[in-house]
Each structure stands twice: as C-alpha cells, then as structure tokens.
C-alpha cells in the first residue's frame, strides 16, 4: 500500500501520479472540494477523481475525517459526487449520528487517533489539596456550545467553585482564568497528535473535570480531552455529543455511575444537555467533600488508568495509524 506523506511523514508526496495501487490518504486532501471557491473546488474534484479512477483510495481515520466527510456531504454537488466513487473507502475518527454513504466505515471512530497517541503522563490519584469541593474546566478554541456552557456556569453561580479556562471566549465573564493551557508537543511537519501534558497544578486542587469536547452536534468525537482527567487521576463529567458517555462504557471505561448521574447523555437537544450537565455538576459540588468523592471514585479511577495502559495508549509514535494501515492493507 502507498502511504500519503500527510498520513505518515515517511510516506510520499507524489500520490496523484500513482496508478493501479491502493493508497492511504489524508482526509485533508478532500477539503478544497467542499470550499466556497468554485474554480478551486472543481480543480480539486477533477484531481481527486482522476486518482480514484486509477486507484483504490482509503481515507485515514484522523485529522477530522468525520468532520470533513460531513462537510463534503453537505457542501456542494461535487462533494456529494466524489463520495459516490466506487474506489473510495472513508474511515471516520468520530462516530457520525447521521445516514452515511456506502463508502463510510466507522469501525475506527472510537477511540480516535487523539486517544491512541496521547502522551500525557499517568499520575497517581490523590485527594484534592483544596479543602473545598472544586472542579476544573479547560477550553481553548472558540465553540458556540462552550460560550453556552460558560454562561450556564455563571448563571448558576458556579464560577467561584471551579477553575475555568476559556481562551477563545467571545465575551468576558468574571472568574475566567487566563492560565496557559498545555502546549502541543507534536513535532513539526508531522500529523501525529501527541496530546497535552497532564502534570499541571490545576489538577492538584480539584476533584472532578468538566470536559467540554470540541464537537457535540450529531457526532461522538472522543479526543485527548476525555483521556486527560483519566491520566490525571480524577473523574469527569462531559459536555459532548449525545451518547458520548455510553460510548465510553462500551469501550470498557468506568464512568462513575454510582456517584454521577449521566442521564443527560441521552438528551437529544444540545443546549438542554449542557444545562443538565451543569445541574448535575452543581449537585456533586454540594453533596461531596473532596475526601468523600475520592473515596467513592478511586476504584473506578484505578480501573480506567489500568485500561488506558493496557489497551489504548501507545508508546510507539503513529501506532494507531500503522495498525489501521496494516488492517486495510490486509
């Protein structure tokens, strides 16, 4: 199998001159087809169609493969047309809750490459050093649902109960910290996502993380944000796509059902789901001391860390993609 250099840096840049081969390509090769510029879109379509006419093309399940597929399907006629090509097989890195084309395979959507290549250190669980019940919520890029979450926390007078970071917010709310988030450690010119470090002082002062995933609309997209609190040794509650928590259960993770009411996970309306998450988080803050919460959750925490080490975290760079390439090659 020929490997696109955008999938593995050891691959080739010259995929478009290939004939009669199987090729693993990056989903980003398709982005221009769904663009607003008609000329660029048409040129990108022609180029990709020629590649597909002469080869079998397998789209790798990383770099927003699910999001790019959804954009192609909804953007324009050329996007829809390229997805119908008989030589295309599209693997997603998130589970799309929608009707998909025959070319789509969601086998590798959970966990995504973000999870498999996470490089954060696994820390020994400890009782929060702060005697008051506190949570942490760390958000970087702007998302509409994160604005909604921030307003909800403020409305419920929960900002003074947590350490909230949101760099991309479109408005100011008292209590938001300007604490620097973890740096991306991926090497330059490599697509592999190496995650974020977990050894931050913020984790030592809190007993639970409020995780705000990158995307929540009709998509289950499990990223390093989910793995981060597991590695840090604390439980989490999630602002994410409907069914996200159930997906974690299906993967074998413990989600602290005996102390956290995850009934919000079945709520179809995104905004109502966020409201329910905040209500449950406030309930937890009022019900448990850090010591009580630690005692009630430590068994599940240790289970999750053991599962991460044994099954999901890979020491070898690009292990997830190499495994996928081996599977589709066979």
- 239, 137 contact by CB (below 8 A): no
Kindly tell me if the per-residue pLDDT of 240 is higher than 80. yes
Report how far apart the first and last C-alpha atoms of the chain are (Å, whole number). Answer: 10
| Domains of the chain by start residue, with CATH | 2-115+319-329 (no CATH), 118-312 (3.40.50)
Question: What is the rounded distance in angstroms from the CA atom of residue 299 to the CA atom of residue 178?
Answer: 33
How confident is the model over 69-82, as a mean pLDDT?
A: 94
In tens, the pLDDT along 65-74 reads 999 999 999 9
64: left (phi over 0), alpha (psi -120 to 50) or beta: left
Find the helix packing angle between 224-232 and 290-307, rounded to 10°.
120
CB atoms under 10 Å from CB of 150, counted, come to 23
In tens, the pLDDT along 189-204 reads 444 334 455 656 788 8
What pTM did the predictor assign?
A: 0.87
Residues 6 or more apart whose CB falls under 8 angstroms from that of 289 comprise 131, 133
The mean-pLDDT minimum among 104-118, 198-212, 316-330 falls in 104-118
Q: Are strands 56-59 and 219-220 parallel, antiparallel or unpaired?
A: unpaired
Question: What is the rounded distance in angstroms from the CA atom of residue 124 to the CA atom of residue 306?
Answer: 11
């Amino acid at each position: 199998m020929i490997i696109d250099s955008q999938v593995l840096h050891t691959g080739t840049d010259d995929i478009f001159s290939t004939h009669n081969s199987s090729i693993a390509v990056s989903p980003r090769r398709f982005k221009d087809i769904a663009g607003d510029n008609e000329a660029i879109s048409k040129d990108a379509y022609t180029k990709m169609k020629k590649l597909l006419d002469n080869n079998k093309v397998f789209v790798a399940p990383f770099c927003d493969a699910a999001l790019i597929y959804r954009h192609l399907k909804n953007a324009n006629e050329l996007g829809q047309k390229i997805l119908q090509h008989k030589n295309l097989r599209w693997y997603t890195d998130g589970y799309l809750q929608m009707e998909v084309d025959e070319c789509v395979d969601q086998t590798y959507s959970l966990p995504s490459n973000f999870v498999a290549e996470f490089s954060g250190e696994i820390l020994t669980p400890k009782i929060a050093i702060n005697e008051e019940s506190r949570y942490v919520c760390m958000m970087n890029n702007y998302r509409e649902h994160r604005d909604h979450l921030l307003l909800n926390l403020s409305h419920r007078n929960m900002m003074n109960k947590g350490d909230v970071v949101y760099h991309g917010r479109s408005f100011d709310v008292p209590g938001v910290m300007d604490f620097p988030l973890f740096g991306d450690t991926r090497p330059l010119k490599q697509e592999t996502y190496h995650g974020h470090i977990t050894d931050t002082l913020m984790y030592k002062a809190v007993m639970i993380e409020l995780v705000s995933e990158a995307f929540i609309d009709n998509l289950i997209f499990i990223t390093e944000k989910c793995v981060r609190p597991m590695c840090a040794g604390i439980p989490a509650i999630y602002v994410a796509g409907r069914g996200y928590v159930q997906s974690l259960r299906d993967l074998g993770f413990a989600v602290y059902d005996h102390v956290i009411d995850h009934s919000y996970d079945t709520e179809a309306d995104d905004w109502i789901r966020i409201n329910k998450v905040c209500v449950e988080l406030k309930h937890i803050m009022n019900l448990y001391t850090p010591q009580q919460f630690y005692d009630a959750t430590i068994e599940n925490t240790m289970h999750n860390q053991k599962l991460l080490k044994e099954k999901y975290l890979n020491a070898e760079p690009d292990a997830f993609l190499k495994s996928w390439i081996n599977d589709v090659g066979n």
